[in-house]
Structure formats: C-alpha cells, structure tokens
Structure 1
Amino acid sequence: MIKLLEELVNIDSGSMHKNGVDKVGSIMQKRYEVIGFRTEVINQKKLGNHLILKHDTVENPKILLIAHMDTVFKEGIAEERPFYIENNRAYGPGVADMKGSQVSLLYAMKYLSKHSPESLKKVIIFLNSDEEIGSRTSRPIIEELSKKVDYALVMEPARKDGSIVTSRRGGGTFRLEITGKSAHSGVAPEEGRSAIEEMGHKIVKLSQLTNHEEGISINVGQVKGGNATNVVADLAILDVDVRVSNTEQSDDIVRQIESICSIPDIEGTKIELTGGIRRPPMELDKQNQELLRVIQNVGENLDLEVSHTHTGGGSDAAFPSDLGVATVDGLGPIGGEMHSENEYLEVDSLVERTELLAETIKHLAMHK
C-alpha cells in the first residue's frame, strides 16, 4: 500500500493537468483489471478521463463508490515536495486528498475478492478527474450512476480526529459583471456612470446576507475594475463564494442574490449575473443516519469507534445525497492539513480504514 501511495503522490495530477490525471487513472485501471474489474473510460478533451469500474461478476449493483484522481496542486509540486514518511505520517501533494483513498479503495476490493467475492457483484466504482474544480463534467455521470444504487460511499479522507463526514454545506460561485459609462474624472465626471461605485453597493448588500449562526456565508473573494485613476470605470467584475447548510437556505439565498442584482444602485449601470449553487448541501437525513449506524456497527465489530462530523467544504457526496441515496463521506484514511504544503496521512490508518470500508461494503452487499 505504501509503495503504491508513493507512486501516486509523486505524479502531478492537478485538475487542469490532464496527462498527470490520466497517468494516475491508467495505473489504477491496470490494478483493478488484475482483480477482475472491467473499465469504461469516459474520455475528456481538456480534463482527465473518468473511469467507471465494475467487476466481471457484477449483478444489480447497489453500492456506488466515488473517489477523485485530481488534486489542487500545480504542475511541478510533486518534484519539489516528493513523498516521504516521518513520525508515522506520510507527506506529499495530495497524499490524503485523495491518493491515500485511492490506495484504500483498491485494497478494499482486493480484500473482498479474497474474503467476500460475492460482494463485488454489488459494486460500482467511479473515479473522476475534476472534483477539485467543482465536478464540472463528472456531476451528471455521478447523478446518473446514483439513480441505480441504494448507497453511496465517498472516499474523501477522514478528518484529523478520525471522524467520517455525514453532512456538508452546499456552495457555489456567482459572478457580477457590472457595466457603466466611462468619462474623464476631472473634465466631465457627471457624464460617467461608475461601475466600481455600483460594485461597492453590491459588495455591502451581498455581505449582509452572511449569517454564521445559520451556516450561511457570502464571501466576495475577487474584484477587478477600472483602467486608470482619472477615468470613471465603465466595467467592474466581482466573484462571490456562497455557502449554505440546507436546501431551503440555498433556494432563498439564490433569490436574494438575484433580487439584489436586478436593481442598480447607480442609475445608468447594468449588472449581468452568472453562476449558481454548484453543489447542493449534504444533510444528515434519515437515510444517511441509517447508513451511519451501519458503519458504526461494523466499526464496533472491528473494535473501532467511528465518530462523525459536519464540515463546511463541499464534495461529490452532495450529488447522490441530494437524490435521496443514502450517502456517507470521509471513508478514506485519516489525514489533515488538506490542500497545503503540510498535508499528511496517518500511515497506521491505511489498513484500519481499508478494513472498515471493506467490511461495510460486505455488510451492505449482503443486506436485503
């Protein structure tokens, strides 16, 4: 497991680095095919290819396993910061998010092929290439696969304390492109209509939608506009990150943003609003609670206490959960400091979490 983890970590596979993501996919495809899986490659022109994996014995599958192959790291980082282990922690770009999970998922399948081969009849594995950039091309595939199953197990890493993830905030991005009218700020300022001034009004109004107690956050993360200090700006652009905790909030926030942008504060300016909520919230509903209990019971049989938590970040777990499929996330090995140069994986958790995953799949596959 460590040898494969090192091989994967030392491959640059940022979301926009197609060759690297496809190299990871090729390695995983070959290893799955050795234990009897067939691969459907869904080719992508600009991004890495997606892989759908099913065992030769597949029959009415009801468990979807989702793991992404891309990372957030730019090309060249793997050479700058290659894989290493220190104090029983593995380090390197993407080591926890989620190359450790790729290793764990493969070895869970190897375990089942020896100890419960009938379980593999009920499994579909989806390895996607674009989770870190919002699952632009993989979302419809995930949703289509989700409609065919009863359970979705998502392989994001477990939290630092070992918790798996049972709820996540939903989120998305919006862009406001504001058009005004340029004029010389000294000679004829009254003839201008400042897109930047309009942008200022909108920043204040959008920011006021934030309600941390309710789990709603609105962050204007990037702004740009204007060409010179002595010219009234005729164009301004702002990009807004939105996070919500439930579907009701999501619908309400979208309506409020649309309302704010429908009426300019500076007469003569216009606003084009694009974007939206890309990932729905993953809520701890009845189906997800029941699946959590199954995993916790499996953990007890392995003398492993399984805690669970909520996290503000999004993942592919949102898509099957939103469709009513029982979904739990964070089933990879334990890691921390994701997306940073200090990202790490707890080496001892590799085998422990692989066994938990495999036994959970075994239980769900046999459960009527």
Structure 2
Amino acid sequence: MKTYLQNHQEQMLQLLEKLVNIDSGSHDKAGVDHVGTVMKTLYQEIGFDIKEVKQEEFGNHLIIQKKHTDETKPTILILTHMDTVFEKGTAKERAFRIDGKRAYGPGVIDMKASLVSVYFAMKALIETGQNSAFQVEILLTSDEEVGSLTSRELIERYAEGKKYALVMEPARKNGAIVSARRGKGHYTVEVVGKAAHSGIEPEKGRSAIEELAHKIIQLYEITDEEEGIHVNVGLIEGGTSVNTISDHATAQVDVRFRTQDQVTEIKEQIATIIKNIDVDGTKVKIEGDINRPPMEKNEQTEKLLRIIKKVGDELDIFIKDTETGGGSDASFTSALGIPTVDGLGPVGGRAHRESEYLDIESLVPRTLLLASVIDDLAKRKD
C-alpha cells in the first residue's frame, strides 16, 4: 500500500486542488453538493454503493460502503464532512496553491485533505487485494461546521453496531491525533429593560445593558480551568444611542466542559444566574442548550489508541495523542460508547483562517496509516 500511495501522490494533490477550488461553506448547498457529486462519482468508480440523504437547507449527506453480506457487515465507521467555514467566492479569491512543502486554500486541511485521504485509503486497500474495505462505512456530511444540525441523527443511527469510529478531523500541527474533546453548549441571553433619556429622566429607565453586564460577569465565574470548564461571551449587542438607557441587550455565550458529569451543575449555575435579577425592572431570558457531548478519554479509547500507535510504529510513524477544546462529530460516537479516535486526517494547521495549510509530506504517510489501521481493525475478532 505504501508503494501504491507514493506512486499516486500527484493524483492525490490533483483531487485536493479540485475540491479546494469548489466553494462549500455550510450554507452553500450547491457548493457542498458539488463536492458530494465529485466524491460520489469517484467512489462509484471503485465499486462502492452510495446512499444520498437529501437536505433542503444544507448539502446532501452521503453514506458510502461496499456491497456486503452479513459476514462482512461494516464494523468501522469513518466520519468526514464536506462543508467549510468560508463564504462563497473565497475559492476564487484564494485558489489552491502550493508553496514549498505546504498547500494552501479554503478548507485545505479542514477537511478536504481528509476527503482525499479516505478515498485513496479505500482505493489502496482495494488495489492491493485487501478485503477490509468491506468492513468500512463512510459518512460524508454537510453541516459539521455549524453544529451538525441535520447530520447528528444520521451519525448516531449509523454508529449503532459499529466496533470503532475513526474521525477524520486533521491531525494537530505537531502530528498528534485527538483522544479527547470538550463538550460544547451555546446560549443566547436576552435582557429587556425600559428606555429613558440618560440626561433628562434617567430615573425612569431600567438599563438592559447594566443587567447584562452583571450576567456576563457571573457567567464567567462558572469557568474552572482545572476542571476543564470554560465560559466565553463572544458577542454582545444592545442599546440604541449613547444618551439612551438601553431597553434591550443580548449576549451569545459559549460553554465548554470536559465530562458529561459536569453538565447538570453547569446548567444549574446558569439557571440560577438568569433567575436572580440585579437591576430591578429588567427581565432576563435564555435560549440554547448543550449541543455536543464531550469525547472522553476512557478505557475503550485507550485500547483503540494502542492499536493505532502500534500500527504507526510498524510504519515508522510516531503517534502521540492530545486533548483539544474544539468540537467535532467524534463526540457523538464517543457518547454512544463506541471506541472513537479523532484527528486521523493529514497534518496541517491554522484551520478556518486565510493561512490554513496542509503539510504535503504528511498526505501519503497519514493515508497509509489510515488504510493500515482499517486493515488491522477489520481483521480483529475481539
């Protein structure tokens, strides 16, 4: 497989260029579906069946697998996504380019390089006569970057009965794969006050901004770095003019946490903060919830990590693992009790930014690692 992939590196980069140069922001349905059509055609050419799950707002999801019998029923779920965070027109402004040992372009590492890697891993397994491709079911989803709003149910449904979940978010820039991710919640806090002129009759006003300021400070106090809990108020809005006591104010709140056991206490703390009014005459309401469970590093994860590291050692690829605060679809499979490892894509960095890049020299080794891990897992009877 190593020789096969080395001989096909140029084709891998050509496919990557094609994908990167297609705008596929989460809300660009046509663009995401264009990426899906490219991948659908390629997989069909190597004998895979594709089921398309139609969506109205987002791109269509793809479920990809080889025809199988009960004896070769897929035991390995691979999760990838086709959407990016970039607006339509970005691909034209910043088309795919190679500069030295790096490739650049919108979505190049998150995660179009992984789409290439998974496809060529499957192709390498097939071309070298490995039956392990029958053990794999691949999901290409369309809305991961906006919280997997329509794909979560699909992921959880197809995860049922699987022995392993391999998630293709990029490896960290130091090459580490991901063994734990913090859970995530998103809330909108809205305060209603009473407007008044701040110079003529301030006593008649009830400042929504003042009340929101109290709430923001109290929400930040939930943060506990040692326990892996972090609250961030990332957006605030309110008022109509500098000399008017504000009658409305809102805040967007991001919550991260390390374990599922922390959720109840976090929710109780938030509820208490919202209930207790600091500025008389104002009203506060909150909308939102925890929308991603944490991916916890447990005994099952450790076992899968040992397998991956052993395969890496055999390929002279040193593998280490790490925890990250960012969310991914790995949280959904992990929460179902399925051994899950993330960050199995190629190496790169600066995801979601103009300088996002792929380390080109990692493309073949990480694809080889993926194919070899699949082959190892498929042959295990435990």
Q: Same fold (TM over 0.5)?
A: yes
CA drift at 1:214: 2.3
Give 1:151's aligned residue. Answer: 164
1:57 maps to amino acid: H
2:47 maps to amino acid: G
CA drift at 1:117: 4.0
Please give the secondary structure, in 2, of the residue aligned with 1:27: helix
Q: Distance in 2 between matches of 1:88 and 1:231?
A: 56
| Contact 2:103–2:358 (8 Å) recurs in 1 | yes
The answer on 1:26 being equivalent to 2:32 is no
CA drift at 1:255: 1.6
Q: Distance in 2 between matches of 1:74 and 1:286?
A: 40
Give 1:276's aligned residue. Answer: 289
| Contact 1:178–1:195 (8 Å) recurs in 2 | yes
| Contact 1:57–1:120 (8 Å) recurs in 2 | no
2:226 to 213, 217, 226: 213
The answer on 1:11 being equivalent to 2:22 is yes
The answer on 1:73 being equivalent to 2:86 is yes
Q: Distance in 2 between matches of 1:283 and 1:365?
A: 24
Report the TM-score, using the length of structure 2 for normalisation: 0.93
Flag structure 1 segments of 5+ consecutive residues without an equivalent: none
Q: Within 5 Å, which residues of 2 pair with 1:1-368?
A: 1-57=12-68, 59-368=72-381
| Contact 1:116–1:362 (8 Å) recurs in 2 | no
Q: Distance in 2 between matches of 1:215 and 1:2?
A: 38
CA drift at 1:229: 2.7
Flag structure 2 segments of 5+ consecutive residues without an equivalent: 1-11
Please give the secondary structure, in 1, of the residue aligned with 2:287: strand
Q: Distance in 2 between matches of 1:176 and 1:116?
A: 57
Worse-superposed segment, 9-18 or 250-259: 250-259
Q: Render the CA deviation track for 1:271-310: whole Å, top value 9, x for unaligned.
A: 1111122111111101111000011111111121111111
| Contact 1:50–1:138 (8 Å) recurs in 2 | yes
Number of residue pairs matched by the alignment: 368
Distance 1:286 1:135, change over 3 A: same
Q: Distance in 2 between matches of 1:293 and 1:265?
A: 52
| Contact 2:130–2:375 (8 Å) recurs in 1 | no
| Contact 1:169–1:244 (8 Å) recurs in 2 | yes
RMSD of aligned Cα (Å) = 1.3
1:32 maps to amino acid: Y
Q: Distance in 1 between matches of 2:59 and 2:340?
A: 25
Please give the secondary structure, in 2, of the residue aligned with 1:348: helix
